[in-house]
Structure 1
Amino acid sequence: MQFDTKFAIVVADDLPTWQKLNVVSFLSGGVTQTPQVTTGQTYCDASGQGYLPLCVQPIIVLKANRDKLSTFVQRANRQQVDTAIFIDDMFQSGNDEANRKTVYQYETSQLPLVGIAMFGDKTLVDKVFKGAKLHD
Structure 2
Amino acid sequence: MTGFTTKIAVLLRDDLLGWQRLNVTAFLVSGLAVADPNLIGEPYRDGGDVEYLPMFRQPVLVFQGGKELLTTAHSRALSRDVRLSIFTSDLFTTGHDAANRAAVRAVPTTSLDLVGLALHGPRNAVDKILKGASMHP
- The TM-score range, normalised by the shorter chain, is over 0.9
Q: For 1:1-136, list aligned pairs within 5 A.
A: 1-35=2-36, 37-136=38-137
Q: CA separation in 2, counterparts of 1:22 and 1:37?
A: 24
CA contact (8 A) 1:9 1:116 kept: yes
| Partner SS for 2:39 | coil
**CA RMSD of the aligned region, Å?**
1.0
1:37 to partner: Cα distance? 4.3
Q: CA separation in 2, counterparts of 1:9 and 1:36?
A: 18
Q: CA separation in 2, counterparts of 1:127 and 1:36?
A: 24
Question: Which one-letter code corresponds to 1:135 in the other structure?
Answer: H
Question: Which one-letter code corresponds to 1:44 in the other structure?
Answer: R
Q: CA separation in 2, counterparts of 1:45 and 1:81?
A: 36
Q: CA separation in 1, counterparts of 2:38 and 2:91?
A: 25
| Percent identical | 39
Which structure dedicates a bigger proportion of its chain to helix?
2
Q: CA separation in 2, counterparts of 1:36 and 1:130?
A: 27
Q: TM-score, normalised by structure 2?
A: 0.96
| Partner SS for 2:35 | coil
Q: CA separation in 1, counterparts of 2:61 and 2:3?
A: 14
Q: Which runs of 5+ in 2 are unaligned?
A: none
1:47 to partner: Cα distance? 1.1
1:82-103 per-position Cα deviation (integer Å, ceiling 9, x unaligned): 1100000101111111001001
Q: How many matched pairs?
A: 136
Q: Which runs of 5+ in 1 are unaligned?
A: none
